[in-house]
Amino acid sequence: MKYFIIISLFSFFISSVSNAQSTEEKFVKNCFDFALIQNNMMMKEIVPSDNAFPRTMKKDGSLYCTDIYEWTSGFYPGILWYLSEYSGDASLQDSALKWTEKLEPLKTNTSTHDIGFMMYCSYGNAYRITKNEKFKQLLVQSADALATRFNPKTGVIKSWDGFTSWHDGKKYYFPVIIDNMMNLELLFFASKVTGNPVYKNIAIAHATTTMKNHIRKDYSSFHVILYDTVSGKPIKGETAQGYADNSTWSRGESWGIYGFTMVYRETGDAQFLKTACGMADYFLNNKMLPSDKIPYWDFNANMVGYVPGNKSNAWNVPVDYRDASAAAITASALFELSTYCDKEKSKKYLDAAKEILHALSSPVYRAKEGTNADFILMHSTGSIPHNSEIDVPLVYADYYYIEALHRYQLLLSGKKLFDDSQHPINKK
Ligand code: GLY
């Protein structure tokens, strides 16, 4: 009898664990299937052309697309790669290829740091999935273009060629934004496939300098650091898309969590892991984080002690809009970060990633079928200071949401997120 009870309890335990898992697997499948439905509708609106890169929704509810030169052009091809990988649909892979190949002229574009986003989300996924040598060469060329923006004196890659302060209209010529951490993945890739360490050395220098100057003691972050190219030193921190210079713009914090997690993956250097965890804890423990874990657009918006620049539109927006894009980026990053930490932190980050994914997939953030200009997520914020893209769908929110689903699916099936044997942390 005693044995019968023990065996029954054991089988009950095993079956509830596997049921719980299959519930989550069904959840991921449901989310991916919905993404496919929305995307099928979006694809009826556009054909691959130089001006057909989905970005957001116009005021009249229709789809707004950009040309290839906007920083967001790589996300839609990236979405198509993830969806074709999930579905195994050859026609979707064909579309992914067509949209990706439109971006080829960018491979020599030295005018923006965003070449990392543009090329690695598109061609990076293309190479990951197809292993086509042509894509590899193209990514290395793109890394060469990005590397031209590195200045050894400042120790960082220049983000924009100029930045105009919200305070007084003064112009600065070596601004670096926290977002730039994301572009380093392209450089690490180039070193791995060529064996030339020059790319990864630039990436490590950039991450190290960013850690010193962008990240505050409490692991909050400046959006922009303005550098003096003569002394090589930071002049000061300001904001472009956040509420105030001393505030923490939510998507900036998300780029940092994701970026430092990736740099830890590529270097195995514990200081980057500490920074990624510090930033993740700042985000998750923040008393301003709503209970559904989808952040307001800035952790300090409309708070005493934080003052926007005179010319910023942030003065005119008393509403604390959410930013689903910051949440999606954070969820994707936390799935990865959870695989590098001790048991307690790993559980904290994994649970948070799941909670964010469930919240984003609820009717509060996930659009109804056939609405939202066929994007998946509602309620993202582009830039309140610029009075641009407020409370709308954004293609990068959908991209990182789908990437988070992809990562969660891998973890649920017991697979590694990154199989590459050249990643230092996989060698340990
Ligand atoms: N990288 C630009 C943005 O996050 O809005």
Summarised one tens digit per residue, pLDDT across range 280-299 is: 999 999 999 999 999 999 99
Which pLDDT score is estimated for 13?
47
Q: Would you say the C-alpha torsion 333, 262, 219, 179 has a positive or negative sign?
A: negative
Which atom number of ligand 1 is nearest to the Cα of residue 252? Answer: 4
Ligand 1 within 6 A of CB of 241: yes
Residue 143: CB atoms within 10 Å: 30
Which pLDDT score is estimated for 17?
46
Looking at 60, 94, 161, 179, which residue is catalytic? 179
Ligand 1 centroid vs 179 CA: distance in angstroms?
6
CA 376/CA 79 separation, integer angstroms: 11
- Architecture of the structural domain at 31-420: Alpha/alpha barrel (1.50)
Which pLDDT score is estimated for 427?
54
User: CA end-to-end span of the chain, whole Å?
Assistant: 47
Ligand 1 centroid vs 382 CA: distance in angstroms?
7
Choose the residue to mutate in 255, 390, 392 for probing ligand 1, maximizing ligand atoms within 8 Å of C-beta: 255
Ligand 1 centroid vs 21 CA: distance in angstroms?
35
Domain boundaries, the chain: 31-420
pTM, entire model: 0.95
Ligand 1 centroid vs 114 CA: distance in angstroms?
9
Residue with CA closest to ligand 1 atom 1: 179
CA 298/CA 320 separation, integer angstroms: 8
To the query of whether residue 420 is one of the catalytic residues in this protein, the response is: no
On the question of pLDDT at 370 being above 60, the answer is yes
Ligand 1 within 6 A of CB of 251: yes
Which atom number of ligand 1 is nearest to the Cα of residue 117? Answer: 1
To the query of whether residue 179 is one of the catalytic residues in this protein, the response is: yes
Which pLDDT score is estimated for 319?
80
Residue with CA closest to ligand 1 atom 2: 179
Which pLDDT score is estimated for 1?
52
Mean pLDDT of all residues in 394-408:
99
Ligand 1 within 6 A of CB of 179: yes
Which atom number of ligand 1 is nearest to the Cα of residue 177? Answer: 1
Which atom number of ligand 1 is nearest to the Cα of residue 114? Answer: 1
| Percentage of the chain modeled with pLDDT above 70 | 93
Choose the residue to mutate in 70, 239, 241 for probing ligand 1, maximizing ligand atoms within 8 Å of C-beta: 241
Looking at 33, 67, 114, 245, which residue is catalytic? 114
CA 299/CA 254 separation, integer angstroms: 12
Which atom number of ligand 1 is nearest to the Cα of residue 396? Answer: 4
CA 386/CA 242 separation, integer angstroms: 10
On the question of pLDDT at 420 being above 70, the answer is no
